Amino acid sequence: MRMNKESQRRWQKILVLLGGVPLLGVMLVDTVAVAGRHLRAPLNGSIELVQGLLVISGATAMLVATIAGVHATVRLLLDRLSDPNRAHFDRVIHVVSALYFFALCAGGVWLAIDMWPGFEQSELLGVPYRPLRMAANLGIAGIAIVLLYRSIKGRSR
C-alpha cells in the first residue's frame, strides 16, 4: 500500500494531535497542581495523571519522529562511505534498529500478559495501567514496523 503525500500528511497530523492533546493535558494538570499548592488546595494524584498522559504523548511523539525520519543520529562513519555502501549500511542500521524495537515490544507485551490478571492501577486515583501499557506497546511496535519498512524500501529520510 503506497500513500500519497497528502494522505501521509493527514496521518501525520492525526498522530501529532493524538500526542499533542495529552501534552496539553499535562500542562493543564501541572498548572492546576502548582496553583493548588500555592493556594493550599493541592491536586492529589496530579503526578499519576501527568505520568499517564506522558506515556501516550511520548509514544506518539517517538512514532511521529520515526515516520518523519528526524531522530538525532550520529553519522560519522556513514558519511565517509561511498553512496552504494552508505545505502547498504543504512538498510542494515534500520534492520538492527527494527529488531531492537521488536524485542522491546515483545518484552512489553510479555510484561502486559504477565500483569494482566492483577489489574494494576495507580495508588491515589486508580488510573489503570492496562491502556497505558497498550499505548506504549503500540507505539513501540509502530516504530519497529516503520524501521523495517524503511530497511526494505531503502529510504533513510
Mean pLDDT, all residues of the chain: 90
Q: Which grid coordinates belong to 64?
A: 511521529
pLDDT at 154: 74
The answer to whether the CB of 23 falls within 8 A of the CB of 50 is no
| pLDDT per position as a tens digit, 86-120 | 888 889 989 999 999 999 999 999 999 999 888 89
120-156 pLDDT tens trace: 999 999 999 999 999 999 999 999 999 999 899 875 5
At residue 11, the pLDDT reads 83
